[in-house]
Structure 1
Amino acid sequence: MSGPVKAVPLRTASAFLGLALAAGAAAALEPEVLFSKVSGSVWAVRTFDAQERPLRAGSAVVIAPGRLVTNCHVLAKASSFVIKQDNVTYGATLEFPDPARDLCQIKVANFTAPPVALAPAGSARVGQRVYAIGNPRGLENTLSEGILSGLRGGTGGGGAGEPEARLLQTTAAISPGSSGGGLFDSEGRLLGITTFAARDGGSLNFAMPVEFLAELPARAKAMLEARAREPAGSSGRRVPGVEVPLNEPLRPGDALEYVRIDKLTGNRTPVIYRLDKVDGDAFSFNMGGRVEKADGEVVSIASPAGGMFDTSSPPGGWVRKGVQPGMRWHLDYIAASGDRLRHELDATVGGERPFRVAGVELNVLRIGYEGWIYASYGTGASLVGTRFVGSALYSPELGRIVRFEGEHRRGNSSATNEALELVRIQR
């Protein structure tokens, strides 16, 4: 028979409780220990345009061997991008885009930085201590501390029929450049990807929850398949870093990237026509420096960026509507830009031929131009003509010239011989 149950003294019970609480809190890390544990897995992202000029800076977190996640808006309009930490830089490529949730997974070859641990799904709790690590304003591996101040639904989710997303709201400070960084719990586990801050401040900062990372591959595949089924000219949102068909209509922010080649010296100069706005049927490039209609007809050239392609351009452009092999026409005009010289040219359209732009083979028509350029024009003027020979490769599919060549000899000591070739279309 067992003896009577003895009461445990209050001070002893308190000691047991203290030990239990201490054991539960043992996994929490001091901020400096947490930073040392995960900072090697948070990298800076740098993006560049086609001329290797810097565009944007952001952050990315290693989630698997050779795989990082950042925000899609960090990669917007980039021709290339790298990840960087201290003096170490790696080239990176886009693997899985999910623009609806602003999450893009990128991959890096021969990359050995360790992945971070992921917090269990649904483990985020309002009031818990959190830490943001990223690269605000280019300051690499910056740590900020705060609490998880809210779980917000209804923004950042997917399409119709999907459950609302639960953004993580935090007081941990983030700034431009923090986008794509990590929001960690007190054990150094990834809770989310820091995405944006409220414009009016107030310690309102947000991250996409870690649960979304597992869904990235499937959602990216579904999105790309849906996009492939969209009709030409669809107004659906473009995906940063994803190749867009060359013949897709231009939108504000897109740019035509040409290279101008001086055939006498071999010098190559990039020429960019960036679409600033579309106003009805008018497409304005380079702040109004070039204006076209939707069908490619040239309305005006105020800033001739493309050399002879612009300074000798006929009214309406070098190509006529409905151009077909065998067509001929005569041109007699004063160029509206450059030295405003009189041109008298004959144009002849040849047959089709293949031509590649950004690795895509197009069927183009060759149009040849021969004639004279005059130093003056008008009744009673003394006209002294100099020879002009040129050609254009025109893509009916794109509705524009993909290569132009012109040679103009003004005498024994003065000549222009150049080409302008479309390299790619920046989206």
Structure 2
Amino acid sequence: MGLYSLPIRRLGCGLLAVLLWVGLSLPLRVYAEPVSAATATSKAASILQGGSPHNFISESVQKVGNSIVRIDTERTVIHRAADPFLNDPLFRDFFGDGYAPAPREDRLRGQGSGFIIDGSGIVLTNAHVVSDADTVSVTLKDGRTFEGKVQGVDEVSDLAVVKLKGVEGKLPVIPLGNSDEVQVGDWAIAVGNPVGLDNTVTLGIVSTLHRSSAEVGMSNKRLDFIQTDAAINPGNSGGPLLDAQGNVIGINTAIRADAMGIGFAIPINRAKVLKDQLVRGERILHPYIGVQMTTLTPKLAQENNQDPNSPISLPETTGVLVIKVIPNTPAASKGMRLGDVITAVDDKPISTASELQALVENTQVGQTLQLTVKRGDRTQTIAIKTAELNLRRSCGTPCGGEHVGSPLREMSILPIHVEPQTCCYSPTSGPNWMTATIRCFTTILASSPMWTMPLSKH
């Protein structure tokens, strides 16, 4: 069985089920809500442009299609024995290491999308498409294939730049739009290579703006996403989300795996800020203070305090509750602790965890922040100097820095499937959820990440 045989068959069954459901439900909807001829004509006119036989969608795709690419990668994954008996120090001291099985190497293939931002062969894509890849191959719409070199990767913003080797002449460049001008309800056109189906175009609208990475379930990122209902599938990662004029407004990145019509794209203006550094191969510096946190409201604090099993008492105020302080971080060195509530930074009121994370991200590494902290009945100011966030180091959290608590969700970081373990799951409503969350962090998470995210391919 080929590498993609089983995943594609699974996806095929899922698609068949979806198509059957749509086919059965559409006649019922038409019967219940008949559409008048005038309404249908009006909707058609909104898409068709004047007397042209083509609409804005086809014109936009024709404008940019040649600058959208497919990215194929291969990476080596080493599997080591997970037998706890063989890993026991006493066993190994007595018998030596000769009994341990040799590590097994697997070659994994991945596929994603990208788009050309410079005629010399500079491609912008997602970090998770090319990160740790041994080989990168980039295929243009006209069939030409180039070897790619990963110039720069920033995992915090999930952005990467690939340089094509052996380019002769100038390649077509995609126009970059202004994501700050995008409004909810605007057209959104997704183009990419989902599940190996090259040059696929889907249409939707911008469903909402500024959807924080914590809300999406990607609390190890520092992003505010564009949410869209344009169909996005595995393999679309790194491809462009276009406006009605064919300008890039976002980079397709993730979907809700437990829902339909909920996709997320990184605003292109975020990429504009970082792309030149990535082209030069520079490391992107991200500041952090080193806490895991969640938003606190007076109601949530009151529910916690009324629970006799709650391990701590919380001030009934609005702010950011510190759930865990990561060892060997700026916050730890200044004595921050579980149960602290941050209400302001540099005298600016803070009401949500995402707000605090964004504020820290917009500072400089080494900058000192004055945090107003409620601890029990006392209010104090703690001066914390930010340090550089490093995702690769081991420090008790998946991201090594601010980790915003949110409901565990089954997410798909295209094309990788992410399914959080639920050992620490607690709902965001109902009695005692805050207490359960705090208790979970004071026990299980004393030496563990907030949750682990084992990866499995679609």
- Structure 1 length-normalised TM: 0.44
Which structure has greater strand proportion? 1
Highest Rg: 1 or 2? 1
TM-score (norm 2): 0.41
Q: Which has the higher contact order (CA 8 A, sep 6+)?
A: 2
Which has the larger share of helix?
2
